[in-house]
Structure 1
């Protein structure tokens, strides 16, 4: 069976085509298999979104999120691939899990020795098919403790392209593709140099949490004073960015800066790029749409690390997106329980969830706000992060050209049949309604968590369907 999305717009060329998607018979856009044609003239087909920065809390903190709920949330938001950060419990560092470690039971009772093994074989262990692709980011230091660099002898074999003839299908599907201690910056000194050397030897890049502070809960300034809580100066971000840029200049290792939030850090990154250094950076929907003044409205639901910065810094985020300094947008999807987020500014954990509303928030702020075009937002959320993660996007026009046998579809439109692709498994796509107006309802999320300041926001632009490997993985009717 198949469903044909008639008159759908191709995201980058504007051509309207008929897109044929194989289906197992489930209703599509409110229609069953007895009505296999869908009027898709309002819709756009684009490469699936990719998120290089998610926390799924599995193993060790599954009251917050699991691989199942996290992947379902990603698919619902239009994401076809994600990169799992290493701050699981135990950490993803390649070390054998010890029985007395927090979270060890989930790994050891599954018959696995390491968290890498557990996550790679998660679907078989839990008898589930996850709807999105996922890669693993290995911890830069053992246990993410910052004291000793993690050992490539423990995790280097899992890197994409290494000894692939001896790996099983799950190991091939979920490789280690990056290094990070996300949640904290890698400490300066010998440890950082060893981490960079490990990246150089394995061909991976370092994802750097570009911010470090010992005290503070929110951005330093009038809002912190009004709330009566200690502030975090913006220089804490620049200190890590400037330090790492100097080491990139020395070593040539690619460093990717996470969740950049300040004007001064963007200035440093902009200059490094002009110099030709291998640095990239991301920002997140919350730094695009919010500033520290919003803490007065949303409270700890908007507490994060780095903290929401000043309105001037938010303007700098928008400027950095507009001029291309920002390479991509990542959600930093960070689930917490509502009980934790109600502990107050000093004790509540940092972070918000974002996979299911990121496109709507970014479209409302960036496209409706005249900062970027629809196509550029797709590049920021899909094409660029997918390329960095090693998942090149399907070139839709090339695929259409290869199938074009001179016989047009209805009304002269060309046809792209995903079932006829030479490699249908490469067809990771999102179907977008760029004009849909909708209200974010956290209670409707697939995620286990509800910690978002965007609940109740009216936004535009929505992922209507997610296609992974040429098959529907999620539908939003």
Structure 2
């Protein structure tokens, strides 16, 4: 069935068009679809992209699987994600030698000998169609334990453009595009070799810019009130400053994850002013919450880097407004509620975020008057797509290809007639919708979020991959 969205507005030009899209049998739909939908007031934008997600597959699928993680992505308006390598076993390209190791059986029983191959072929192995495009990030260190750098020869063949004649469609669709030990900063013992690997392969290094050996929450009045060991803010700056100096020496592109402090933003701002190839992201929780949230939400607000002071939260928003922050990423980190109830010292770090990121960011940043709707879409769609080596969908170019330049009549974008469907990833947004975050309705397996019950604004209503709907709540 073809579905027509009448009078939808293109995000960057303001043009009102009709959009025709196929209803896929594989689409996730929250309610029955009509053939004709009045989309007046809705926005058509490039699909969001998240360069920082954890799907716990293989090894911890009780927290999140590829199926549930991709469903959560589509529900949140995402059409592209980059999966971090802290799977179990780690995504390091090494052959799995011990079939009794945690998570190894899932991979070996599927007929593959390493995690990269397994995740590239996940849809074929499990007979599913996932509603989001995904790339993979390889570990910086073997086993992601920081002692020995991974070997480029072990994972080069999984990169885009390498040995394409011998790759199947799944391998081509889900390449390795970055290096990281996310969850931990690259250790000083292997940093030079990891940067050499990045230079040799042409990939960029994604750096978890935080390292501390003790502490559980931000050091300050809240940590003292809770009686919990604190983490000083310079634990982040130490990694940022170290890596900026290495960027200066090597010219390797380093992307800093979940930056959260004013002093780190100032260092990144200065590095950019000197033309160094550094980029950075922050996450919705660092713009919406400060460490006082720990008093209200407990370990649901425990994360790494920790929630910082109110001054740092304001500095984070300022860094978004002045362009120091290149993009927004969720650091979607699923855990069970039982794990999060263990207390501040034992509970794992992290929260989920894919299904409410746009609403939280829109509420704080757009409703707060710091940035425009258009800029928020750039931060969540255009810029992360570019980081991931992909091109965000140019809606006006698609219209021009089908019908030429704007005339006096309303144009129609029929996705079924597009020559290259693989380049299409779109989101339908209601930028004005006020809604309540309800984790019990999430498509993720996890519920670990402090945003449950929050009143937010702006909601993704549909995601489109190629010519078809991948998700809809229209």
Counterpart-to-counterpart distance in 2, 1:21 and 1:99: 45
Change (3 A) 1:198 1:406: closer
Q: Which deviations, in whole Å up to 9, do the C-alpha atoms of 1:356-381 show, x marking residues without a partner?
A: 00000000000000011000000000
Counterpart-to-counterpart distance in 2, 1:316 and 1:162: 41
In structure 2, what is the equivalent of residue 297 of structure 1?
296
In structure 2, what is the equivalent of residue 390 of structure 1?
389
How far residue 20 of structure 1 moved from its aligned partner, in angstroms, is: 1.1
**Quick check: 1:171 aligned with 2:171?**
yes
Change (3 A) 1:41 1:113: same
Query: Is the 1:426–1:470 Cα contact (8 Å) retained in structure 2?
Result: no
How far residue 27 of structure 1 moved from its aligned partner, in angstroms, is: 10
In structure 2, what is the equivalent of residue 63 of structure 1?
62
Query: Is the 2:28–2:470 Cα contact (8 Å) retained in structure 1?
Result: no
In structure 2, what is the equivalent of residue 99 of structure 1?
99
Partner SS state of residue 470, structure 2: strand
How far residue 4 of structure 1 moved from its aligned partner, in angstroms, is: 1.2
In structure 2, what is the equivalent of residue 140 of structure 1?
140
How far residue 233 of structure 1 moved from its aligned partner, in angstroms, is: 0.2
In structure 2, what is the equivalent of residue 469 of structure 1?
466
In structure 1, what is the equivalent of residue 426 of structure 2?
429
Q: Which deviations, in whole Å up to 9, do the C-alpha atoms of 1:12-57 show, x marking residues without a partner?
A: 111111111122478989564xx52211012000000000000000
How far residue 11 of structure 1 moved from its aligned partner, in angstroms, is: 0.3
Query: Is the 2:211–2:236 Cα contact (8 Å) retained in structure 1?
Result: yes
How far residue 425 of structure 1 moved from its aligned partner, in angstroms, is: 2.1
Counterpart-to-counterpart distance in 2, 1:112 and 1:392: 31
Q: Which deviations, in whole Å up to 9, do the C-alpha atoms of 1:109-144 show, x marking residues without a partner?
A: 111100001101111111111100110000000000
**Aligned ranges for residues 379-458 of structure 1 at < 5 Å?**
379-404=378-403, 412-458=409-455
Counterpart-to-counterpart distance in 1, 2:366 and 2:467: 28
**Quick check: 1:151 aligned with 2:151?**
yes
What number of residue pairs does the alignment pair up? 472
Q: 1:460 aligns with which of 436, 457, 465?
A: 457
Partner SS state of residue 3, structure 1: strand
**Quick check: 1:3 aligned with 2:22?**
no
In structure 1, what is the equivalent of residue 112 of structure 2?
112
Partner SS state of residue 345, structure 1: coil
Counterpart-to-counterpart distance in 1, 2:468 and 2:105: 35
- Structure 1 length as normaliser, TM-score? 0.97
Query: Is the 1:19–1:415 Cα contact (8 Å) retained in structure 2?
Result: yes
How far residue 288 of structure 1 moved from its aligned partner, in angstroms, is: 0.8
Counterpart-to-counterpart distance in 2, 1:88 and 1:278: 28
How far residue 427 of structure 1 moved from its aligned partner, in angstroms, is: 1.3
Counterpart-to-counterpart distance in 2, 1:395 and 1:245: 33
In structure 2, what is the equivalent of residue 51 of structure 1?
50
Counterpart-to-counterpart distance in 2, 1:406 and 1:457: 43
How far residue 406 of structure 1 moved from its aligned partner, in angstroms, is: 8.0
Counterpart-to-counterpart distance in 2, 1:400 and 1:126: 37
**Quick check: 1:307 aligned with 2:306?**
yes
In structure 1, what is the equivalent of residue 324 of structure 2?
325
Query: Is the 2:56–2:88 Cα contact (8 Å) retained in structure 1?
Result: yes
Counterpart-to-counterpart distance in 1, 2:28 and 2:265: 46
- Structure 2 length as normaliser, TM-score? 0.97
Query: Is the 2:29–2:473 Cα contact (8 Å) retained in structure 1?
Result: no
How far residue 412 of structure 1 moved from its aligned partner, in angstroms, is: 2.4
**Quick check: 1:75 aligned with 2:71?**
no
Unaligned runs of 5+ in 2: none
Counterpart-to-counterpart distance in 2, 1:82 and 1:315: 27
Counterpart-to-counterpart distance in 2, 1:28 and 1:404: 30
In structure 2, what is the equivalent of residue 256 of structure 1?
255
How far residue 168 of structure 1 moved from its aligned partner, in angstroms, is: 0.6
The range that moved more, 351-360 or 391-400, is 391-400
How far residue 426 of structure 1 moved from its aligned partner, in angstroms, is: 1.4
Counterpart-to-counterpart distance in 1, 2:289 and 2:28: 37
Unaligned runs of 5+ in 1: none
How far residue 455 of structure 1 moved from its aligned partner, in angstroms, is: 0.4
Q: Which deviations, in whole Å up to 9, do the C-alpha atoms of 1:179-203 show, x marking residues without a partner?
A: 00000000114x1000000000000
Q: Which deviations, in whole Å up to 9, do the C-alpha atoms of 1:158-215 show, x marking residues without a partner?
A: 11111111101110011000000000000114x1000000000000000000010000
